[in-house]
Chains A and B, each alone.
Chain A
């Protein structure tokens, strides 16, 4: 922390430095256009300054000439990059050698065979808000509900990619699917702007399909692992609701669906709760699990159980065997 008196000359120096950089950048760009050489040291987006603690960064930003992006969400965008920066630093830490009383080897050996943890599921939500703007505000409020998603898709099909796919967003909450109890760590969260009562727009579903296609290819996500928020938290959540076109999406390879059930004979001893558990549902509250299943696979908001529901559970569970 700087005191008020030392802060001013420091700021002046920073501004001067940035001005110089800015001019150098212009020179470098000219060089690039004239001779084709690349000024690597000045390439890339003009990132906000990350490690200053004085909160006056927006002045520096305007000097760098990226003012338009910074209009409303300038401050929170800066917060984003400084948070990502400190998360990335965690990776640089050498494996700890002093914790838990373990006998660690004297010399540290690292492996070069590694990667970044990737998503294996896609969880679809609706925002239950009145506008995309309202959702953007919610997801840029630190210290509140601390909620977020990787993508927000507006009614007109506009996509907001709010978080790097490789980071963990806070969209699933307390949830379970099969034995997985940390869905945030293993999924991509997609929020659809929808109040919870209206059908989804064609533009929205068309953007969603394009996005799902990209995610599926990028992270090799299996068809079965495109699911809804209510599937993983049936006692708490209903989104994306009974109006979401799951059947249409399953036809494109996102999510599983049951086929024609006319000639299916359900074995007398078939236990439908075991079927639901195998599909992935948490059956701690059986009525909630049945309701979530019916909402997703039958577009029905009730939790009543009958032979038709049982048959559909049976057909679908066979696909998860």
Chain B
């Protein structure tokens, strides 16, 4: 009996030492793997035959021409938190139900926390054009930023490398690199107005407008139509205008003056 207790004791202390040497995310990493397993099982399920009162064929015929659903948009966020560590904690708590595919820290370190082919929960209630499920059609990238400060050079360097890789891997068009504030203008303002959209657009990530200096606005120019063509949900026109100005004019005020209308006019041309 004594020997037995001794062995148990050794086991417990070994387990203790082992657990200390492990990362604090061991438990949640296990949940990750378990969940992926469940989803993989779902894909392997034969097409359901008994639902909805449909007259299904007696013999099942599967197609041989298939692939995985891929992202077509990249949505950029700021975390509005004080550290990368804080964000990792938030994204590993099941009760928060929020996540992203990538988190980029201020020093440029990249955390790839979800397989690109799976759906992260980063967009929330959002709309872009006719797409109402941005989570299903996008990659979410979170930048460690308190919501007010500028983005560090190291962080932007890592971001550019990542965007380059994503653009190639999934043939994402230049116009489909957008911000969280664009797809949810009434609720969100990230990435904040300091985000260098123009610099990124020069590298092929996001659209930018040609010089609007000599533009003469056509008499039938309709700014709400233009915002909607760019992709904004125009149900709340004030919010859509603020979203547009934050992204393309680094301006957080309301309303549109003549020169800003010209910018919008030039920008909307890129989406036609």
Determine whether B5 belongs to the interface, using a CB cutoff of 8 Å to chain A. no
Contact B47 A164 (CB under 8 A): yes
Binds B, one of A173-181, A243-251, A257-265, A293-301: A173-181
Q: Which residues in B have their C-beta under 8 angstroms from that of A184?
A: 67
**Chain A residues whose CB sits within 8 angstroms of the CB of B231 once the complex forms:** 178-179
Stretch from A1-9, A18-26, A52-60, A210-218 forming part of the interface with B = A210-218
- In chain A, what residue has the closest Cβ to B173? A181
Please name the residue on chain B nearest to A145 by beta carbon: B65
- State which of A107, A159, A271 has its C-beta within 8 Å of the C-beta of B56: A159
Determine if B60 is an interface residue (Cβ-Cβ < 8 Å): yes
Given contacts A161-B56, A179-B128, contact A141 B67 (CB under 8 A): no
CB nearest to B45 among chain A residues: A164
Q: How big is chain B's contact interface, by range?
A: 35 or more
- CB 8 Å contact bits of B73-109 with A (1 = contact, 0 = none): 1000000000000001001101011111000010111
Interface segment, one of A108-116, A194-202, A234-242: A108-116
> Which stretch of B12-20, B26-34, B185-193 is in the interface?
B26-34
CA distance A321 to B92 in the complex (A): 38
CB distance A179 to B29 under 8 Å?
no
Q: How many residues of A contact B (CB 8 A)?
A: 99
Smallest CB gap from A70: residue in B: B59
Tell whether, in the assembled complex, residue A270 and residue B220 are in contact, meaning their CB atoms are under 8 Å apart. Answer: yes
Give the chain A neighbours of B60 by CB distance below 8 A. 69, 77, 161
**Interface SS of A by simple majority:** loop
A36 touches B (CB below 8 Å): no
- Asked if B65 and A142 make an inter-chain contact with CB atoms under 8 angstroms apart, the answer reads yes
- Contact call B113/A109, Cβ cutoff below 8 A: yes
Contacts A97-B112, A280-B129: A111 and B63 contacting too (C-beta < 8 A)? no
Q: List residues of A (106-127) whose CB comes within 8 Å of B's CBs.
A: 107-121
Known: A100-B161, A107-B23, A213-B52. A179 touches B176 (CB 8 A): yes
Cross-interface CB contact of A113 among B55, B67, B112, B121, cutoff 8 Å = B121
Smallest distance from the beta carbon of A139 to chain B beta carbons, Å? 4
Contact B158 A220 (CB under 8 A): no
Return chain B residues, CB-CB under 8 Å to A102: 110, 158, 161-162, 165
| A33 close to B (CB within 8 Å) | no
Determine if A95 and B66 form an interchain contact, defined as CB atoms under 8 angstroms apart: no
A90 and B68 contacting across the interface, CB-CB below 8 Å: yes
* Interface set, chain A 52-111, CB cutoff 8 A to B: 68-69, 71-73, 76-77, 79-81, 83-85, 87-93, 95-97, 99-105, 107-111
Which chain B residues lie closer than 8 Å to A91 at the CB level? 36, 39-40, 43, 115, 117-118
A102-B161, A278-B225 are known contacts. Are A162 and B63 too (CB-CB below 8 A)?
A: yes
**Cβ proximity bits B112-145 to A, threshold 8 Å, 1 near / 0 not:** 1111011111000000111111011100000000
Q: A112-B28, A159-B56, A167-B66 are in contact. Are A178 and B131 (CB under 8 A)?
A: yes
Is there contact, CB below 8 Å, between B62 and A81?
Answer: yes
Q: How far is the CA of A77 from the CA of B48 in the complex (A)?
A: 15
Per-position 1/0 for A121-156, Cβ under 8 A of B: 100000000000000100111100011110000100
A163: chain B residues within 8 A (beta carbon): 47, 62-63, 66
Q: Is the CB of B43 within 8 A of A95?
A: no
Contact B32 A110 (CB under 8 A): yes
Indicate if the CB atoms of A280 and B130 lie closer than 8 Å: yes
B139 CB to nearest A CB, Å: 11
Asked whether, in the complex, the Cβ of A73 is within 8 Å of the Cβ of B175, the reply is no
Asked if B49 is an interface residue, CB under 8 A from chain A, the answer is: yes
A108 B46 Cβ-Cβ under 8 A: no
Give the shortest distance, in Å, between B62 (CB) and chain A (any CB): 3
Instruction: List chain A residues, Cβ under 8 A from B37.
Output: 92
Contact partners of B54 in chain A: CB under 8 A: 159, 207, 210-211, 214
- Does B228 have its Cβ within 8 Å of any Cβ on chain A? yes
A186 touches B137 (CB 8 A): yes
A35 within 8 A of B: no
Q: How distant is A255 from chain B, measured CB to nearest CB, in Å?
A: 12
Interface of B with A (CB < 8 Å)? Answer: 23, 25, 28-29, 31-33, 35-37, 39-40, 42-49, 51-57, 59-73, 88, 91-92, 94, 96-100, 105, 107-115, 117-121, 128-133, 135-137, 158, 161-162, 164-165, 170-171, 173, 175-176, 219-220, 222, 224-225, 228-229, 231, 234-235, 271-272
12 A–B pairs (Cβ distance < 8 Å), ordered by A: A76-B61, A87-B66, A91-B39, A91-B115, A113-B120, A142-B65, A158-B57, A164-B42, A167-B43, A181-B171, A181-B173, A181-B176
